[in-house]
Amino acid sequence: MSRSIRLAVIPGDGIGQEVVAQGLKVLSAVLPQDVKLETREYDLGARRWHATGETLPEAELESLKDHDAILLGAIGDPSVPSGVLERGLLLKLRFAFDHYVNLRPSKLFPNTPTPLAGRPEIDFVVVREGTEGPYTGNGGSLRTGTPAEVATEVSVNTAYGVERVVRDAYERANARPRKKLTLVHKNNVLVYAGHLWKNIFDRVGQEYPDVTTDYLHVDAATIFFVTQPERFDVIVTDNLFGDIVTDLAAAVTGGIGLAASGNINPTGAFPSMFEPVHGSAPDIAGTGKADPTATVLSVALLLRHLKYEAEAARVETAVTEDLAARDGVTRTTDEIGDALAIRVTA
């Protein structure tokens, strides 16, 4: 029986194109010969918006559905008003495809600079809720632009939405050696959403007696990210807190040049989407300076999601070895991609 992967590719803006090319290079290299990789590229992002005013037309959203997964580079450009592409394209995809598990592993690789003294051991994964919270676009503005303006943003949280992501996080914690799950929220101030999260976290926890649980307010959590990151194993948190702490997590583990993410729909009803956490970095676009490692690690998450576990592990090992072998000589985006592609086939 021949196997195939139908992959939608959205290179997007800035360095997106360059890093995605390396991700695809490594993906092709690591896949067994009998697996047919079919890619289809989508022209979405700043260029498209300037040309046509479109962010994500309905027809393209439909056509994207017809894939096993999506690989995305980066979205965003200073020439586009803030929010247009984020809300109209990136978040639209996460919401339309019900990517309720936004998975962001954080690991301090060997030979990788960290701003933290003493190089603590860091190896945790953040399960960020991806379809609710303050990201629903549920807000408005009254008397806009006048001295009497009132602007609101509504964080929407449902038992349905919280329970499914909390359950996913318990499953992941239960499958890891340390079996520890930390809920991060702010339930002493955001009492309604906070209590919903905490109650579900406690209730679902009864089904996972082997998992040790912990709760931290988001402000206190940021302290532990820099003073005691080794205390974390799996973290589950809301959409906005997850956005904030995963950038911080990336910073302490060597920078967003290495941070991968998966926007996952665990039911398989819609394709999941894999993207580096870094943005489009327009200042270095086209210079060959972009590090494609985060994209390559996102490809590993993609492979694991599609049940190519051995191939996912090979990609991760290749990255670990490549980082360990670094000697301080600066390499181009392409050179790093080549090195990784060679390693996965070795």
Ligand X SMILES: CC(C)[C@H](C(=O)O)[C@@H](O)C(=O)O
* Residues in the annotated binding site for Mg(2+): 219, 243, 247
Whichever of 111 and 227 has its CB closer to its own copies, that residue is 227
**With contacts defined by CB under 6 A, how many residues of the chain interact with ligand X?**
8
| Residue number, nearest CB to ligand X | 86
DSSP-assigned letter for residue 283: G
CA-nearest of 328, 286, 262 to 100 is: 262
Contacting its own copies (CB under 8 A), which of 57, 178, 192, 207? 192
Beta carbon of residue 188, minimum distance to ligand X (angstroms, whole number): 5
Per partner kind, with CB cut-offs from 5 to 8 A, the member of ligand X, its own copies, none near residue 256 is: its own copies
Beta carbon of residue 79, minimum distance to its own copies (angstroms, whole number): 14
CA distances from 77 to 18, 54, 80, 234, 246 (A): 15, 15, 6, 33, 21
Per partner kind, with CB cut-offs from 5 to 8 A, the member of ligand X, its own copies, none near residue 146 is: its own copies
345 three-class SS: helix
Q: Is 99 in the site for its own copies (CB under 8 A)?
A: no
| Contact of 9 with 41, CB cutoff 8 Å | yes
What CA–CA distance (Å, rounded) separates 215 from 193?
15
| Known active-site residue 334 | no
| Contact of 20 with 81, CB cutoff 8 Å | no
Per-residue x/- mask for its own copies, residues 237 to 256, rule CB under 8 A?
Answer: ---x--xxxxxx-xxx--xx
163 three-class SS: helix
Q: Is 188 in the site for ligand X (CB under 6 A)?
A: yes
| Known active-site residue 243 | yes
| Known active-site residue 247 | yes
Contacting ligand X (CB under 6 A), which of 168, 243, 291, 322? 243
What CA–CA distance (Å, rounded) separates 102 from 131?
9
Whichever of 198 and 326 has its CB closer to its own copies, that residue is 198
| Contact of 222 with 242, CB cutoff 8 Å | no
Tell me the catalytic residues. 135, 186, 219, 243, 247
